[in-house]
Amino acid sequence: MTRIQANLLLTLTAMIWGSSFVVQQIGTGKLGTITFTGSRFLVGALLVLPLAIRQMRRLERERRFHATDWLGILLTGCVLLTAAVLQQHGILRTSVTNSGFLTALYVPLVPLLGLLVLKRKVHFAIWPASVCCFVGTYILSGAQHVELAIGDLWVISSTIFWATHVTLVGIMASRTGAPLVVAAGQFLVCGVGGLLLGFFVESPTISQILGAVWGILYVGVFSVGMAFTLQVVGQRFTPAADAAIILSSETIFAALGGMVFLGERLSLVQLSGGSLILASILAVELVPLTGIGRPRPL
C-alpha cells in the first residue's frame, strides 16, 4: 500500500468518526459511559476478530507473536479504553462542536511525543500544519462561543491518551505487520475491560442496555469495527504525525453531522476554519514529496 492510499484510508476513518459524534451524544440513552464504551468496542472486536485470526494464521509462517507483542497490544487497548471513556463522558456534558474542537487538541501532541519520547525525526511541515490545524478547529468551532464547561475538561483530558494511542498504534502495526490482529486485540481489551469495569462501577440494567442498543451497534460497527481498523491499517504505511493531522479532519465531519442531524449551521468564518484544516492536510501530503526540508538526524 502506498502512502497516498494509506492517507485516503485515514481520511475515510475521520469521516466515520466525525459522523459518530452525534450518535455518541444522542444514542446512549441512560446507559453509563464506561458500559457504553465497553459494549461498542466489544461489538467492533467481534466484527474484526475472524479477519484477525485469518491474518495471524497466515503470518505464522513468517513470524510468531512474542510476549512483548501481546503486552504492546494490551497497553494499546488500555490507553484506548481510557481515552474513549474520558471523551464519551465529556461528549455527554458539552456540545458536539466543542467535542470535535477539543478532541483535535491531540494533533500537535503526537509529533511532540514522537520527538521527545521516541526521538523520531519529523518533517518541518508537520509543525506549521499542526498549528494551522489547531487554529482551524478553533475557528470551525465558532471560537467566540466556546466556553469551557465540565464536559470540555473531560474531553481535554482525553486528548493526552488519544495522542498516546495514535503513537502506539503506529508502533504496533509496524512492529507486528498484522494490523488486523492489533485492531482486534485492542478492541477486545477495551471491550472486555470496559464491560467489567462498567458493571462494577455503574451497575447497568437490561433496560438501559436495550435503550442504547442502536447507538452501540452503530458506533460499534462503523466507528470501531470499520474506522479504528482502517486507522491501524493506514498507520502501518504513514507516520503517526501525518496520521494525526489527517484524522483531525473528523472535526469537519462532526460539524457536518451536527448540521444535517441536529440542525446546526456553519457561518462563513467557521467554513474558513474547515478550509484551513484541509489545507493543512494537503501540506502534510504534498510538501514531503517535494524533497524540501528533509529532517536531519538528531
Q: pLDDT digits over 111-133, tens only? A: 778 877 777 777 787 788 888 87
Domain assignment present for 295: no
Domain assignment present for 297: no
Cα 49 → chain centroid: 20
Domain assignment present for 296: no
Q: pLDDT digits over 158-214, tens only? A: 989 998 998 898 889 888 888 899 999 999 999 999 999 999 999 999 999 999 999
Domain assignment present for 17: yes
Cα 4 → chain centroid: 19
Domain, as residue range, for 94: 3-288
Asked if the model's pLDDT at residue 107 lies above 80, the reply is: no
Copy the grid coordinates of residue 152: 470540555
Copy the grid coordinates of residue 42: 466489544
Residue with cell 493531522: 245
Asked if the model's pLDDT at residue 10 lies above 50, the reply is: yes
Residue with cell 485492542: 186
> Which of 251, 243, 257, 290 has the alpha carbon at shortest distance from 274?
251
Domain assignment present for 298: no
Quote the pLDDT of residue 141: 62
Asked if the model's pLDDT at residue 55 lies above 70, the reply is: yes
Q: Which amino acid is at 118?
A: L
Domain assignment present for 89: yes
Domain assignment present for 148: yes
Quote the pLDDT of residue 205: 92
Domain assignment present for 293: no
CA angle 81, 223, 7 (to 5 degrees): 100
Quote the pLDDT of residue 298: 45
Residue with cell 482502517: 230
Asked if the model's pLDDT at residue 293 lies above 70, the reply is: no
Please give the tally of structural domains in the chain.
Answer: 1
Quote the pLDDT of residue 7: 87
Q: pLDDT digits over 213-248, tens only? A: 999 999 999 999 999 889 888 888 887 777 878 887
Quote the pLDDT of residue 155: 85
